[in-house]
Amino acid sequence: MCKECGCGIVGEVSIAGMPGSKIQSPLVGSAHEGGHDHAHQHEHAHPHGDAPHHGHDHHHHDEAEHDHAHHPGDQHTTRTIAVERNILEKNDRQAERNRGFFQAKKLLVLNILSSPGSGKTTLIQKTAEALRGKRRVGVIVGDLATENDANRLREAGVPVVQINTGTVCHLDADMVARAATKLDLDNLDVLFVENVGNLVCPAAFDLGEQLRVVLLSVTEGEDKPLKYPPIFHSADVALVTKTDLAAATGFVRDQALANLGRISHHARVFELSARSGQGMEDWCAFLTASSVNH
Amino acid sequence: MHEVGIIQNTLAMAIETAEASGATSIHALRLRVGRLSGVVPDALEFAFEVVRIGTMAEAARLEIESVPAVCWCHKCQSEFVSDDLLGECPGCHEPSMELRRGAELELAAVEIS
């Protein structure tokens, strides 16, 4: 989808090694597909008004045919039709559908976002290990290519599905709906969706998550939230990661927290190191409190 | 950020509307783009030049209405215009929790015949 952020021509998305479009999901499509309601489109102007009103109100989108007989001379009449539609509505609709489905299963779904290399996979792996015995964790992981992240998590005993987006720089709600069918959701309490490492495009795509979690690693610099405000602004939870490296990188904690406070002002903030375990207890306690043990 | 994909969706929506109205060509697409939508109008226009080729919107204009970001300050009980995502109230310098306008990304209308 995103050809202009340098990611080239859109190819086929693959999920668990299969073409994504071949994976059926009860969340995607229906008998009514294509017949969704367009009753909110209506004509409101016939500026040249030289033909009798031919009333194309279009509250009957499902009808196979209806009269579009135009009068001679109509061809050069321009009309303005109010559309008033959200351009990302297709994704937003799918995201709401996902959200309802996940809520019905009492599954806590987290959309994990950061730049590449901030420690998303390590965080998820260590969190799943820390929650073992308390919550059952599954993962959907998105990358342009390779199964490396999925393999790491699989080796740690975490059920995981890899999405390879090919050239697309973000996950969308449709990919998540299809990938979710590859997990035994009834035997999970928490689902992490590890997004493609990117601080720009994923901000606009709701996946149907309950919580959006944005990582800021101490190696990235304190001003990341100021440089990428939309994604940090949309965070429900902000995690300062790799705190074990803070001293080595000269990380100025107060400044980073102040920047997060300005941009992610309504987010819960945790500071942790998945590798050393520092701060993991609070984060895991928060996840335990936010989810249900089935 | 992903303006080609966005303009493809927009054009598909416009063509769907036009065809449902029995039109054979699209003369203009009117978009409403919030300052905080994350979409760059110039990039949309550039992308539109390419994606319209060979469609019923081949000769169409792209009209973009830019919507300023308007936040609500609970403390001062007033709206203010914010040009960045910091959303700080100019009166009390508190961050606003409520963006009232400015995140729009909408196809408002199409001009057809």
State the count of interchain CB pairs (< 8 A) between A and B. 112
B22–A56 C-beta distance less than 8 A:
yes
B85–A229 C-beta distance less than 8 A:
yes
pLDDT recorded at residue A251: 97
Structure tokens at A283: 């984060």
CB contact, 8 Å: A84 with chain B?
yes
pLDDT recorded at residue A4: 42
Task: Give residue-wise pLDDT tens across range B69-101.
Answer: 899 998 999 999 987 666 789 999 888 878 899
Of A54-58, A157-161, A179-183, B64-68, minimum mean pLDDT range: A54-58
pLDDT tier, A265 (very low <50, low <70, confident <90, very high otherwise): confident
In chain A, whose CA is at the least distance from the CA of B43?
A4
Q: A88: closest CA among B88, B31, B35?
A: B31
Contacts of A14 (CB under 8 A, 6+ apart): A20, A163, A164, A166
> Would you say A59 and B18 are in contact if contact means Cβ atoms under 8 Å apart?
no
CB contact, 8 Å: A86 with chain B?
yes
Task: Give residue-wise pLDDT tens across range A199-209.
Answer: 988 988 999 99
pLDDT over 50 at A240, yes or no: yes
Reported ipTM exceeds the 0.90 cut: no
For the domain spanning B3-68+102-112, the CATH number is 3.30.2320.50
Q: Which residue has the tokens 């996902």?
A: A98
Mean pLDDT on B41-48: 91
CA distance B46 to A5: 14
| Percent of chain A clearing pLDDT 90 (strictly above) | 66
Contacts of A95 (CB under 8 A, 6+ apart): A173, A205, A206, A207, A208
Mean pLDDT on A109-127: 97
> Would you say A10 and A167 are in contact if contact means Cβ atoms under 8 Å apart?
yes
Cβ count within 10 A of residue A52: 8
In chain A, whose CA is at the least distance from the CA of B14?
A83
Of B4 and A8, the structure prediction assigns the larger pLDDT to B4
pLDDT over 90 at A218, yes or no: yes
Bridge partners of A66, per DSSP, are none
Of A56 and A286, the structure prediction assigns the larger pLDDT to A286
CB contact, 8 Å: A229 with chain B?
yes
**Contacts of residue B113 in chain A, CB cutoff 8 Å?**
74-79
DSSP strands (E only) in chain A: 14-15, 18-19, 42-45, 79-86, 108-113, 137-143, 160-164, 190-194, 211-217, 237-241, 268-271
CA distance A71 to A64: 22
A200–B1 C-beta distance less than 8 A:
yes
B2–A4 C-beta distance less than 8 A:
yes
Alpha-carbon Rg for chain B in angstroms: 17
B84–A70 C-beta distance less than 8 A:
no
pLDDT tier, A11 (very low <50, low <70, confident <90, very high otherwise): low
Q: Which of A2, A262, A265 minimises the CB distance to B1?
A: A2
pLDDT recorded at residue B23: 96
Mean pLDDT on A129-151: 95
Q: Give, for A99, the enclosing helix (H) or strand (E).
A: helix A89-104
CA distance A52 to A73: 11
b (16+ CB within 10 A) / e for A32-50: eeeeeebeebebeeeeeee
> Would you say A239 and A215 are in contact if contact means Cβ atoms under 8 Å apart?
yes
B113–A38 C-beta distance less than 8 A:
no
Of B61 and A4, the structure prediction assigns the larger pLDDT to B61
| Percent of chain A clearing pLDDT 70 (strictly above) | 80
Task: Record the pTM.
Answer: 0.79
B4–A2 C-beta distance less than 8 A:
yes
For the domain spanning A3-24+90-290, the CATH number is 3.40.50.300
A88–B105 C-beta distance less than 8 A:
yes
CA distance A88 to A29: 17
Domain spans of chain B? 3-68+102-112
CB contact, 8 Å: A227 with chain B?
no
Task: Give the minimum alpha-carbon distance from B91 to chain A in angstroms, rounded to a whole number.
Answer: 16
pLDDT over 80 at A58, yes or no: no
A145 by Cβ neighbours in 10 Å (0-12 / 13-18 / 19+) ranks as exposed
